[in-house]
């Protein structure tokens, strides 16, 4: 039986809580903001963020200004990261503590960075 846990703010909050407790988790991503790296209606598996892990270029589950997103880290500083969709929409900066999980590899093509340049200031 096929199970879908469709991405919405409630589902992503539950997944973020499990990731924060150190457990891998998953949900079904919707939307086109991360295309082609993530297809519309694709299961995404996430793992918790490692302590001090470099996140630049990674697709992460994060909260920016109170809203959860599965988007890419496009800029990185020691205490915060900048989040954007691969469609070029920039969500903004958020604290590293608001990054809950990192997308695990799957049998899809390699991640494609968004149109903007990636920057590290770490």
Q: What is the DSSP string of 39-76?
A: -TTEEEEEEEPPTT---TT-EEEEEETTEEEEEEEEEE
Q: Could you give the CA distance from residue 100 to residue 47 in angstroms, rounded to a whole number? A: 8
Question: Are 95 and 84 a contacting pair, CB within 8 Å?
Answer: no
In CATH terms, the superfamily for domain 9-113 is Umud Fragment, subunit A (2.10.109.10)
For the entire predicted model, the pTM comes to 0.85
Structural domain boundaries in the chain: 9-113
Instruction: Tell me what the mean pLDDT of segment 53-66 comes to.
Output: 97
Bridge partners (DSSP) of residue 25 are 46
Taking Cα atoms as reference points, which of 15, 81, 86, 14 lies closest to residue 44? Answer: 15
pLDDT above 60: residue 119: no
Reported as a single tens digit per residue, the pLDDT across 9-57 is: 999 999 999 999 999 999 999 999 999 999 988 999 999 999 999 999 9
């Amino acid at each position: 039986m096929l199970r879908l846990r469709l991405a919405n703010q409630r589902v992503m909050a539950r997944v973020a809580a499990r990731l924060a407790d150190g457990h891998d988790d998953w949900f079904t991503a919707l939307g086109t903001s991360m295309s082609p790296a993530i297809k519309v209606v694709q299961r995404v598996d996430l793992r918790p963020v490692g302590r001090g892990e470099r996140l630049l270029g990674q697709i992460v589950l994060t909260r920016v200004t109170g809203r959860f997103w599965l988007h890419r880290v496009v800029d990185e500083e020691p205490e915060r990261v900048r989040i954007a969709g691969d469609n070029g929409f920039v969500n903004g900066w958020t604290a590293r503590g608001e990054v809950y999980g990192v997308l695990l590899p799957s049998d899809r093509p390699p991640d494609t960075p968004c149109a903007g340049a990636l920057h590290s200031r770490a």
